[in-house]
Structure 1
Amino acid sequence: MRLIIDGDGCPAKKEVINLAKKYQVEVILITSLSHYSDYSDCTYIVVDNLPQAVDMAVINRVQKDDLVITGDYGLAAIVLRKGAHVVSPRGKIYLEKKMDELLLRRHLAQKERRSGGRFKGPSKYTVSDKERLLSVLERFFRRKKEIFAENN
């Protein structure tokens, strides 16, 4: 199991990487050039600023049972189909059975915006969002560690 972070949409990268290190989980952080920072304590991949470049890099690297952090519903749907697990930067666990509804809502919102409609954006990322994410990750890492120990 590895942790793959869509770095363009995860505000808590440093905290997530530190938590993964605590549980000895390999971390792959993928960002575009416009979100570049220095992360030497993980595998750090920087891609072009092209649309969907980070998504394609995640898709090409994800494997069954990996855990991916992304806020992109389209990427989440593809990752789930590959047998990986997905959580949002706010700690929401994505389930395959809910993806059709989320993708439909995204499509309808895009259609409304194209026709001149307006939607309120996401709320500001809060400390409680970060805490929820770290809590979900810690539960996941503990469970995976216990399962690994039982099978060896």
Structure 2
Amino acid sequence: MLIIFIDADGCPVKDEIYKVAERYQLKVFVVANKYINIPANERVEMVVASSGFDAADDWIVEQAGPGDIVVTADILLAERCVKRQVRALGPKGVEFTEDSIGSAVATRELMQNLRHMGEMRGGPAPMDKKDRSRFLGKLDEIIQSLKRR
């Protein structure tokens, strides 16, 4: 059974995921280090991971398996998921795959180093309508491909 796991701390597309999951009648685990309001829906479950570093990520990696989807902006979590053959999708609609995760991790490390050196400030651009649309399209595409299996 296809399950969607949301790395929910700071996830900007939770509402979109809830709507898509409702349409396909999919189970959703909303995983965070603290309680987050979720819709009153038997298929949506809140999981509060312990407060340890990466506890939410660890829970997701332990629970998700091939045929599931993890929505995360955390590239290192995405890498762990991809290694376990779990589909990993960023909130801007970029899917992390075996072919792309290596360069995503390298880019993350480069950007982190540039920020530490003071060469760069800030983070990624804020979400816009195109990002949300791209996310919804890609999520739908992944669900369709997994359902065809």
| TM-score (normalizing by structure 1) | 0.85
Residue 70 (structure 1) aligns with: 72
Pairwise CA distance, 1:116: 3.6
| SS across alignment from 2:99 | helix
Give the C-alpha shift of residue 99 in structure 1.
1.5
Mapped partners of 2:16, 2:124: distance in 1: 21
CA contact (8 A) 1:3 1:27 kept: yes
**Which residue number in structure 2 is paired with residue 36 of structure 1?**
36
In 1, the alpha carbon distance for the partners of 2:115 and 2:139 equals 34
Matches within 5 A, 1:3-152: 3-33=4-34, 36-41=36-41, 42-145=44-147, 147=148
Gaps of 5+ in 2: none
Tell me the alpha carbon deviations over residues 34-71 of structure 1, each in whole angstroms, 9 at most, x when there is no partner: x6223332011122444322211211211111111111
Please, what is the CA RMSD of the aligned residues?
1.8
1:10-43 per-position Cα deviation (integer Å, ceiling 9, x unaligned): 212122112112112211111221x622333201
Count of matched residue pairs: 146
More helix by share: 1
2:85 is paired with a residue whose SS is coil
Any gaps of 5 or more consecutive residues in structure 1? none
Mean Cα displacement is larger for which, 78-87 or 15-24? 15-24
Say whether the 8 Å CA contact 1:6–1:31 is kept in structure 2.
Answer: yes
CA-to-aligned-CA distance 1:76-108 (integer Å, 9 cap, x gap)? 111001011111001111111222211112122
Whichever residue aligns with residue 116 of structure 2, its letter is: R
| Structure number, greater radius of gyration | 1
Amino acid at match of 1:97: D
Identity of aligned residues (%): 25
- Stretch of structure 1 that moved more, 68-77 or 124-133: 124-133
